[in-house]
Structure 1
Amino acid sequence: MKKLIRGSWSAGSFDINQFSKGLLLYRNAPLSGGASPAQLVFNRPVRDCLPAHRRAFAPQWQKSAVQLEKQALRARTLRAAHFNLHAHPLPPFSIGDPVVIQNHITKRWSTPGIIVETGPFRDYLIKTPAGRLFRRNRRLLRRHYPATRPAPSVHGPPDSPAPPPLSTSPTPEPPTPDSPAAPAAAAPRRSTRIRNKLNK
């Protein structure tokens, strides 16, 4: 209907004739069940601006109400089967369960909270750490598993390298007066080549 109103504006003014033609076409357009709004009200289509044979509106060419109801029921069954193809029931929450709320704009699970009340229509009242209360449907909630730090181990972290083993070699004993002294290091040998003096 909004599209009909939007399309009826021309040159900055509302064209009532164009809107009436669009409304007639809308009333004759069949719905998902096979019957148009005009057929549901008058049990026959109405004349519009589209050309049609004069016998197209005869009663013998119109489908019976029982057949139209069967078509509508079959269409609803097919739609339900299509939408339930990948659907599955979500497990309910209890009071005190930690959850995270999905932002309906960014689609991110960003607001943690705790269930404080359960409603009759799969709705829950969630309290955030800041003290705010939100009422959300079950499909916008997900169980939250807060990250916990592991307890420190007595033997240290498992990935830390083991300390190097202590050296078991005996330590050298200091020399005693009775022990022979170690030979002194020899003095460096000097060259015996005679150097030529440069002429000044």
Structure 2
Amino acid sequence: MAYNFTAQWIKGIGNNAPDALSRNPVLDPQWDDSLCEYDCQHHPEPTIPEIRILQCDKHDSNRLHNLREEATKDPEYQQLHHTITRGFPDHRNQLPEACRRYWNIREHLTIDDGFIVYGCRLLIPASMRQKVLANLHKSHQGAVRTKERARLSLYWPGIDNDIDNVVLSCKKCQDRLPSNCKEPILSKPKPSRPFQEIAVDFGSYGGQQSLIMVDCLTDWPDIIPIHSVVRWWATFNDFASQWGFEHKASSPHYPQSNGKIEATVKSMKKIIASSWGNRSVKLNVMCRALLQYRNTPITQRWTVSCTEAWQRSTLETEQLAEHTLAQAELYYNSHVQELQDIQLGSTVALQNPRTKLWDIYGTVVNVSPHRRYSVKTQSGRVLVRNRRFLRHRTPASLCTSGRNNPHPDTPPCPEEITRYPIDNQDLQALPPLSQDPQTPTQHPQTSPQELRRSERTCKPPQRLIEDPQWP
């Protein structure tokens, strides 16, 4: 016997639960109780395996049969079965090498109908873990939900890490991850004098392009009609170098990084729309509208308009502006999370601004201040994005184990799969493994595909010129 038990008598006052259950009176027997007694008389001493087989359907019994066959072929499983039957030794070093990782859970391991169980969870042999992982991941619920499902009935050492690796290697799961949360706000210092810092953006209405700018201190706006954005932008760098001012660009698809000009563009487009007539802007009407806009007091902001400066003292206005700005930052930072910085050369995934999928992959080639990153994609293009639209990706690295996959229709073990998102069908088409454990699988080098540029002349639709509508 592996265990020696000694029975000890305890008074009823010191053994409350069993004593209460043995003396607890029950109601009169029901019809179901009499039926159970009748079955017990005709079928005495039913065993636990017989009851289990009666409750299992044919599909579950086939699974248990396959599990039993694979368990008999697994030497580690049989060695652990023998150790549990005879009893664990006093020291971990006395265990065989394959059974030492079960030392911490030895008190929860037992044998039930020939199977090794950890609590209420079946221990899965190594040869079946690949197929079990693929079945667990078919719902694509993510790592947390898949772990919760596995903890109901399945176990093997390192199952949580294996599930994490499978989820990280599934392109379908990685492409459909939720968007990153917003980060704490970055407030820039207030300008000390008017027109020390201005914000500029383009606006279009009715096929007419306009350059809209606003002073960051006084909120003084202006509208300059232009003929071509491309032609104007081509000469802007020379213009900036000649006049000796610094130009800072905001991150694409992240308008809140330049929120002042975005709000100004919205207001200026309303003025342009109200001044539109006969396929063009009436300058006299637009100038009068701009005059009224500039003279309108701007409340609940730290900026000071000309009219407001006459009505309030400078100290009172600044105190009100600082309080308003502090309240806005406090409200914005109430639900934020600081994202980890990405190092130069890291492999990342970019969020598609239209589909919101993380299906664009590239390498970080430049890290700029204010969470601005330059990423070189697989096609060779360099995209600039804010940290909010980037996610870490591990470079492709296929780890070999020196053995072939015994199940070609199932994915390899989590230690053998790549953590880089690959295009697979439920993890069924992973690349084959190399026979040499020291030599990784070689992948053919493919040159990036060159993008083809269209030579057509783009013209705005006629309906936007004849009957312009507010965008």
TM-score normalised by the chain length of structure 1: 0.51
Equivalent residue number for residue 94 of structure 1: 343
Residues 18 and 132 (structure 1 numbering): CA distance in 2 closer, same or farther, change over 3 Å?
closer
Deviation at 1:36, TM superposition (A): 6.1
* Letter matched to residue 349 of structure 2: V
| Cα distance in structure 2, aligned partners of 1:21 and 1:126 | 43
Which one has more relative contact order, counting CA pairs under 8 Å at least 6 apart? 2
Cα pair 1:4 1:19 within 8 Å, conserved: no
1:101–1:141 Cα contact (<8 Å) kept? yes
The CA RMSD over aligned residues, in Å, is 3.9
Contact 1:99/1:112 (8 A) holds in 2: yes
Q: Distance in 1 between matches of 2:362 and 2:303?
A: 49
> What do residues 139-171 of structure 1 show as CA deviations (whole Å, max 9, x unaligned)?
2210125787996977945xx9xxxxxxxxxxx
Question: Is the alpha carbon distance of 1:153 and 1:72 closer, same or farther for their aligned partners in structure 2, counting shifts above 3 Å?
Answer: same
- Please say if 1:5 is aligned against 2:272: yes
Partner of 1:37: 305
Which of 387, 397, 415 is the equivalent residue of 1:138? 387
Partner of 1:107: 356
Report the CA distance shift for 1:140/1:28 in structure 2 as closer, same or farther (over 3 A): same
Greater Cα radius of gyration, structure 1 or 2 = 1
Aligned residues: 140
Matched, 1:27 2:284: no
CA–CA distance in structure 2, aligned partners of residues 83 and 153 of structure 1: 54
The 1:137–1:35 alpha-carbon spacing in structure 2 relative to 1, beyond 3 Å, is closer
How far apart, CA to CA, are the structure 2 residues paired with 1:30 and 1:122?
30
Amino acid at match of 1:127: K
Gaps of 5+ in 1: 45-61, 161-200
C-alpha distance 113-18 of structure 1, shift in aligned 2 (>3 A): closer
**1:82/1:29 CA distance change after superposition, 3 Å:** same
Does the aligned pair in 2 maintain the 1:31–1:37 contact within 8 Å? no
1:135–1:3 Cα change, 3 Å: closer
Which whole-Å CA distance do the structure 2 matches of 1:11 and 1:154 have between them? 75
Give the Å deviation of 1:71: 1.0
Q: 1:116 to 1:152 in 2, by over 3 A?
A: same
C-alpha separation between the residues in 2 aligned to 1:133 and 1:116?
8
Q: Match for 1:134: what amino acid?
A: L
- Are the equivalent residues in 2 in contact too, given 1:122–1:138 (CA < 8 A)? yes
TM-score by length of 2: 0.25
The letter for the 2-side match of 1:28 is: T
CA shift in 2, pair 1:28/1:128, >3 Å: closer
Between stretches 146-155 and 88-97, larger displacement belongs to 146-155
Separation in 1, partners of 2:362, 2:285: 56
- Identity percentage over the alignment? 27
Task: Flag the structure with higher helix content.
Answer: 2
